[in-house]
Amino acid sequence: MEILKAVFLVLVAAGTAFLFNFIHWRLQEKKKSILSTASTLLQYLEQVESESINYWSKNYINNENDETSKKILEIKIKSILKITRRVLSELLTKDLESLAPSEKIRLSNFPSEIFDLITGSSFEDEEFEQDFIKCAKISSKVNDVKVISLKIINNNR
């Protein structure tokens, strides 16, 4: 009877240890997934900010070299915006307990706001003037989301 009792206790202890390890592993995988997605978002935010500021801080003159580099920048910006939107929507599907509701709203509104800001007015026009005010607005809007992304990263380490 004592041996049966001991075997039972060992099985209960092993089952409990397995259950604890499984739950811990699932939580770590969830954190790793959130961390990876937020880090990826941060990289694309830096790219979209850099390329957009580069685009809007130049005066494009009507010559072939400027037109080609302008078109390449426009394609890059649109591509990065699409990827950023997808990464951000993936991040928003994850359970982000550390974020305030207002921060989640800012994240969900960001793709359309930044798209309108970057591609609005004379984007893709043949000629346009530098717009440093737009550059500052883009930087401010992107930095706001960068801060939220860094908060997510720091809370999931």
Domain residue ranges of the chain, discontinuous segments joined by +: 2-155
Across 87-112, b (16+ Cβ under 10 Å) vs e yields bbeebeeeebeebeeebeebbeebbe
Question: Cβ–Cβ contacts within 10 Å for residue 84, how many?
Answer: 23
CATH class of 2-155: mainly alpha
Q: Model pTM greater than 0.85?
A: no
58-83 residue pLDDT tens: 877 665 667 788 889 999 999 999 99
The answer to whether 91 and 145 have CB atoms below 8 angstroms apart is: no
Nearest to 118, CA basis, from 95, 134, 133: 134
Provide the 8-state DSSP code for 61. Answer: P
How much is the mean pLDDT over the chain? 88
Q: What does the alpha-carbon distance between residue 76 and residue 123 come to, in Å, rounded to a whole number?
A: 13
23-63 residue pLDDT tens: 888 888 888 888 999 999 999 999 999 999 999 988 776 65
